[in-house]
Structure 1
Amino acid sequence: MGRASPLLLILAALASFLLTYNLVILVIQNRFKVERVSSRLTDPVIQMPTDLKRSEQSRRPFHVAVTATDAPYSKWQCRIMYYWYKNMRDKDSSEMGGFTRILHSGRPDNLMDEIPTFVVDPLPAGMDQGYIVLNRPWAFVQWLEKATIEEDYILMAEPDHIFVKPLPNLARESYPTGFPFFYIKPSEHEKLLRRFFPEEKGPVTNIDPIGNSPVIIQKSQLEKIAPTWMNVSLRMKDDKETDKAFGWVLEMYGYAVASALHGVQHILRKDFMIQPPWDLKLGNTYIIHYTYGCDYSLKGELTYGQIGEWRFDKRSYLRGPPPKNLSLPPPGVPESVVTLVKMVNQATANIPGWDDGR
């Protein structure tokens, strides 16, 4: 009875080993499972709330607003612009929202049923001193105060803008986006600008080289800037030296100064638009601005300042719309001009009642 046999001892030791081994394996497996679960719980991508994921990809629509008169010259441009807005609005990557033509003639016209329009008053007689563009900031002040605008952002545009492709919201929250104009040079006019932008507001380089259009901006920012823009522009017009120096771009300086006075600086996007005939290629642009005349010889040579053998100039149609099917430019004319004429022709061919002359 005294001692266990060697065989029993071996069997007992083997059983103990197997029990310990299984216990260790079980712990390791469970620990691995815990680590895997823990890693899933702390993964910042997996754990990102689904509503946050959606917000990063959600659309930020902007309202397209264009100021206009009831003159035939303004009407036909607005019709072409609105045609291309509708053409691009619902395409992929577009964040275009609603559209308003802010008509500052003070009375409805015959495009009310064709283009969404909000009628506002012009400046009191004589206040614009023959510079009709001064009505633009006053028109925005009235529209922002009286209209119901669902979007949080606004694109300020002009009748002679054509949307080349769908336009996303280029603004970044409190940073609006504008187009840098080569002829808006605050640093070269510091003496004059100090009359409207005092030194305590900072260097004149805080004034962006932009106008009000094209600009995509938060509605809340524009509501603050617009009255200042109007008042600064009127003061500039009353200042004979400033009026002479700035000329037809005075109101553009007015917006740039007003924005800086409110501490608003813009993201500058050269790809926002092109201006034929100086910009030759479309590139990645979103808008064609046809403010300049395009004059060429039949050899495709630019003859700017001299009426060309072939030409497209919006000022040729002050009293009525251009005809359908304008002749295309001769060979050698840049892509930007060819595209412009083709887009004008497509619009006039498809806008109902174009030949009515309204």
Structure 2
Amino acid sequence: MGCGNVFFTLIITLSVALITYNILISANASLKQELPGPSTSSIIDPIIQMPVEKSRKYGSNAEKRLFHTAVTASDSVYNTWQCRVMYYWFKKHKNGPNSDMGGFTRILHSGKPDNYMNEIPTFIARPLPAGMDQGYIVLNRPWAFVQWLQKADIKEDYILMAEPDHIIVKPIPNLSKDGLGAAFPFFYIEPKKYELVLRKYFPEEKGPITNIDPIGNSPVIVGKDSLKKIAPTWMNVSLAMKKDPETDKAFGWVLEMYAYAVSSALHGVGNILYKDFMIQV
């Protein structure tokens, strides 16, 4: 009984000492407030909160760095209603404080118009040839972006790639900076874990595997000129990944997300990672 008390006391003492040590270390640690540099460095990007630039003045569009919101969609009833809800909230917040939200386009990859062309600004894109998506309809997304970027007259210099199931809850500023994109970090996109697979598409001469950011293509704000370079590569890498059984098995439903992350890295476009860019439920 006495030994048990001594052991219990020893555990309590060690626990208190460990907690005290952690508190002291945390209290004296310096917090880095600066934005991270390009993700092509050997240091993994820190994840930072949304910036609040109170000193910034919003008097006219000339003072803003407007981005165009683009959403790809099928003509299914479910997808259509998602787009209608998303566009409703886009209009609610477009002219809000600190907003850099410009135009909006639903990129409809059914190849034909629907009954909501007058309600939602829409670009009609051709779907992939029959059978090419192998039942993975998401492969139409990069192909639709390629067509839109080639043919549409996009006034803004930046693009926000969003998805129909996003709901905009507040005005969005342009989070991209210094040639970097702005993206949400996904915990399930793990380039280091799948390095052997990814080296098929991102060869060693392109740099460390950590150059591939843990992102998908959405939500991402990126320069229009950068996206015009990335999009065709994104399409081709997506198709190549889907055709490869090992890659298809490894990535499953997030395959096209990995394809965008790889394509962005191949073109040297790093991303600032914002954990508050999106709320997942």
Compute the TM-score of the two structures, normalised by the length of structure 2.
0.78
Structure 2 alignment gaps of length 5 or more: 1-58
Shift of 1:92: 1.3
Which residue number corresponds to residue 80 of structure 2?
75
Name the CA distance, whole Å, in 2 between partners of 1:58 and 1:100: 23
The one of 201, 217, 239 aligned to 1:212 = 217
Which residue number corresponds to residue 207 of structure 2?
202
Name the CA distance, whole Å, in 1 between partners of 2:212 and 2:173: 25
Name the CA distance, whole Å, in 2 between partners of 1:102 and 1:241: 31
Which residue number corresponds to residue 131 of structure 1?
136
Give CA-to-partner distance per residue, 1:48-88, whole Å, 9 cap, x none: xxxxxx99x91111000000010001000000000000000
Larger Rg belongs to: 1
Name the CA distance, whole Å, in 2 between partners of 1:237 and 1:134: 9
The one of 157, 173, 177 aligned to 1:152 = 157
Counting matched residue pairs gives 222
- Going by fraction, where is helix more abundant, 1 or 2? 1
% identical equivalent positions: 72
Name the CA distance, whole Å, in 1 between partners of 2:197 and 2:180: 27
The one of 210, 231, 234 aligned to 1:229 = 234
Q: Secondary structure at the match of 2:112?
A: coil
Shift of 1:173: 3.5
Give CA-to-partner distance per residue, 1:302-353, whole Å, 9 cap, x none: xxxxxxxxxxxxxxxxxxxxxxxxxxxxxxxxxxxxxxxxxxxxxxxxxxxx
Q: Secondary structure at the match of 2:160?
A: strand
Runs (4+) of structure 1 moved beyond 4 Å?
Answer: none
Name the CA distance, whole Å, in 2 between partners of 1:173 and 1:216: 12
Give CA-to-partner distance per residue, 1:134-179, whole Å, 9 cap, x none: 0000000000000000000000000000111000000014111000
Q: Secondary structure at the match of 2:113?
A: coil
Alignment root-mean-square deviation, CA: 1.2
| Bigger RCO (CA 8 Å, 6+ sep) | 2
Compute the TM-score of the two structures, normalised by the length of structure 1.
0.61
Please say if residues 173 and 218 of structure 1, whose CA atoms lie closer than 8 Å, have aligned partners that are also in contact: no
Q: Secondary structure at the match of 1:64?
A: strand
Which residue number corresponds to residue 124 of structure 2?
119
Name the CA distance, whole Å, in 2 between partners of 1:174 and 1:144: 19
Q: Secondary structure at the match of 1:186?
A: coil
Name the CA distance, whole Å, in 1 between partners of 2:232 and 2:217: 13
Q: Secondary structure at the match of 2:150?
A: helix
Shift of 1:125: 0.4
Shift of 1:224: 0.1
Within 5 Å, which residues of 2 pair with 1:297-308?
A: none
Name the CA distance, whole Å, in 2 between partners of 1:259 and 1:95: 23
Q: Secondary structure at the match of 1:67?
A: strand
Structure 1 alignment gaps of length 5 or more: 1-53, 277-358
Name the CA distance, whole Å, in 2 between partners of 1:73 and 1:259: 30
